Amino acid sequence: MTAAPRQPLTSDADIAAENLAFLAKAGLLDGARAHFRAQCDRAVPEIDRALAAGDAATARRLAHGLRGAAGMLGETAIADGASAIERCVERGEPARVDALRAAVLTLGEVTP
């Protein structure tokens, strides 16, 4: 593997801020947020259904994808909600989408 081209950033927040600035400069931020919102709107009910049906693999996969996307855009509440579901599923503990759904509801306020 090659060396990183520069020093790594120090925090997730720094990285998200850098990504947001990069997307804004490229004129892609609004589209990315709209796409992310659509992904949330699709994924949360699907995670809910998968959990209700006992389909842990699907729930984990969807939550995992949502966490990565949220982290990229600095949507920490959604990333945390998705991450919590992932952890619960991995441990075989009961999981709920309430926190994640609440976080998604606030998304519209942040990114109208």
Partner 1 sequence: MSSILVVDDQAFTRELIVEVLTARGYDCVGAADGSLAWPLLQAGNVGLVICDMVMPIVDGLRLLREIRGDTRLRTLPVIVLTGVIERASIVEAKALGVRDYLLKNNFSLPDLMARIERILGAQAKPFVPAAAAPDAAAATARAAAKASSVHLPRLLERDPLAAAAADPDALRTLGGAVAEVTRLVDLGDAGTSDLARVIRHDPVLAARALRKGAHERTATIEDAVRRVGPVALKELAASPAPITTFPLGKSDGPEMLRAWEYRVAVATLMERLVPRSDKIGPGVAYAVGLLHDLGELLLRQRFGDAYRAAQQFAVQANQPLAAVQSHVLGMSPGELAAATLAAIHAPPLISEAVARYWTPPMRNGATPEAADTLAAGLRLATEFAHALQMGPKGDPRVGPVAKAAYRAAMLAPTDVRAAEVRAEALAIVAVAAGPDAPDAAAPPVRDVAIGYVRHSTFASVDPLETTLAQLAKAEASAALPHAPLLSAMAGLVVAVPNLKTPDFTPAAVDDLRRAGGKPTLPVLFVTSDYGDADVPLPPGIQAVRAPLPVRDLAKFVAAC
Q: Which residues bind partner 1 (CB under 8 A)?
A: 1-2, 4-6, 9, 12, 15, 18-19, 22-23, 26-28, 31-32, 35-36, 39, 61, 64-65, 67-69, 71-72, 79
Q: Residue 36 Cβ, how far from partner 1 at the closest point, in Å? A: 6
Angstrom distances, CA of residue 81 to CA of 4, 6, 21, 99: 31, 31, 24, 6
Q: Residue 58 Cβ, how far from partner 1 at the closest point, in Å? A: 10
How far is the C-alpha of 75 from the C-alpha of 78, rounded, in Å? 6
